[in-house]
Amino acid sequence: MLFILKKGADWSTLKEKISSSGASYRYLNLYGKELVVAWPDNLVETIVDPSVEMKVKPRRPFQLASNEWKSDPTIVDVKGVKIGDRKVVVAAGPCAVEDEEQLMTTAKEVKRAGASLLRGGAFKPRTSPYSFQGLGVKGLELLRRASDETGLPVVTEIMDPRDMEYFKKYADMLQIGARNAQNFDLLKEAGRSGMPVLLKRGMGNTAEEWILTAEYILLENNGSVVLCERGIRTFEKSTRFTIDIGGMVSAKLQTHLPICADPSHPAGKRELVHSLALAAVAAGADMLIVEVHPRPEKALSDSEQQLTPEQFSLLMQRIKALAEALGRTA
């Protein structure tokens, strides 16, 4: 249950009423609104209080993420880059930061082609312990440097809550990866950090479960969440994962959060990336995150699916044309 408070109202009596009902609650200040979320619903259903402007009972399992109380789309601001607005925002960069030259080259190339954000993994969740695990903090430092040089804010994946201090220092947007999508302690830390979060969908999660992972972050008083579809596990073998355009659109229709799509991981092969990227934009994605490597065939990870800078540049042109046809920009 959401109690949206009157501007500047004293909510101490509301607090008392909720407390004495036995319900749990949390006071939040989200999107310029003060609100109290209380649960379970049945304990607080009859509560009224002069401090409350509006009481909303979303019919969905997620509350704060639902557009039932906030119908205007949320715009997430990453150092001035606005995600969820008219412009389709593109983040691009290597799967993993490998060395300074690789990163700098890529950063400059993707900037030239029109990317708005730099992506790159420093801490890498790898299926096998024998695969390249990333450069760690050193990789974060390189990302910071590349960002400072190009002006592109950095989005990069955090895997362990104990590393948060480094991410606060070096990154502009946290990425929660598919494999940690339901690592709830990490989600809570990401929420508490106050940083913008790019929240990937777990490969075995329904759209509803995905939105509920966002709810964990919002409930920490952090409204800067972008939902990112990156493909789910199905029986189809010609692609690495199955990009779930339908689930992505479902999420967009039920929440106020911006939606991102990652066409690289579901494709698994370079030649499919363009089509998946364009499909996602046509279906309403507000953001794309694309893997680009100066020499994909030599990449230490995801070698098959990273685009060359030339391929990325062509993709940006196609996205721009498409976005315009849809009444957006890119």
Q: Which of residues 148-167 bind a second copy (CB under 8 A)?
A: 159-162
The residue among 49 and 244 lying less far from a second copy, judged by its C-beta, is 244
Among 27-35, 55-63, 114-122, 288-296, which window interacts with a second copy (CB under 8 A)?
A: 55-63
**Residues present in the chain in total:** 330
Residues of span 118-147 touching a second copy by CB under 8 A: 125-130
| One of 45, 99, 148, 271 touching a second copy (CB under 8 A) | 271
User: Six-digit token pair at 78?
Assistant: 């990453």
In angstroms, rounded to a whole number, what is the distance separating the alpha carbons of residues 327 and 134? 39
Size of the site for a second copy (CB under 8 A): 73
Q: Does 300 bind a second copy (CB under 8 A)?
A: no
Q: Does 303 bind a second copy (CB under 8 A)?
A: no
| One of 52, 142, 203, 290 touching a second copy (CB under 8 A) | 203
Give me the sheet containing 52-56, strands edge to edge. 24-30, 33-39, 2-5, 52-56
Give the three-class secondary structure for 150: helix
| One of 16, 20, 40, 148 touching a second copy (CB under 8 A) | 40
CB 192, CB 168: distance < 8 Å = no
The residue among 155 and 281 lying less far from a second copy, judged by its C-beta, is 281
| One of 7, 8, 32, 253 touching a second copy (CB under 8 A) | 253
Cβ-based neighbours of 124, under 8 Å, separated by 6 or more: 95, 96, 131, 132, 133, 134, 157, 301
Q: Does 183 bind a second copy (CB under 8 A)?
A: yes
Among 7-15, 97-105, 228-236, 291-299, which window interacts with a second copy (CB under 8 A)?
A: 228-236
The residue among 104 and 283 lying less far from a second copy, judged by its C-beta, is 283
Helical H segments across 45-135, by residue range: 100-113
Give the three-class secondary structure for 232: strand
Residues of span 63-82 touching a second copy by CB under 8 A: 63
In angstroms, rounded to a whole number, what is the distance separating the alpha carbons of residues 52 and 112? 50
Residues of span 7-36 touching a second copy by CB under 8 A: 24
The residue among 111 and 252 lying less far from a second copy, judged by its C-beta, is 252
| One of 19, 194, 282, 329 touching a second copy (CB under 8 A) | 282
Helices 270-282 and 245-254: crossing angle in degrees, nearest 10, is 30
Cβ-based neighbours of 72, under 8 Å, separated by 6 or more: 256
| One of 6, 85, 322, 328 touching a second copy (CB under 8 A) | 322
In angstroms, rounded to a whole number, what is the distance separating the alpha carbons of residues 206 and 227? 13
Among 42-50, 81-89, 114-122, 321-329, which window interacts with a second copy (CB under 8 A)?
A: 321-329
| One of 102, 116, 180, 301 touching a second copy (CB under 8 A) | 180
In angstroms, rounded to a whole number, what is the distance separating the alpha carbons of residues 90 and 197? 15
Q: Does 235 bind a second copy (CB under 8 A)?
A: yes
In angstroms, rounded to a whole number, what is the distance separating the alpha carbons of residues 3 and 12? 13
Q: Does 58 bind a second copy (CB under 8 A)?
A: no
At position 65, the amino acid (one-letter code) is A
| Separation of CA 98 from chain center | 23
Among 42-50, 295-303, 309-317, 318-326, which window interacts with a second copy (CB under 8 A)?
A: 318-326
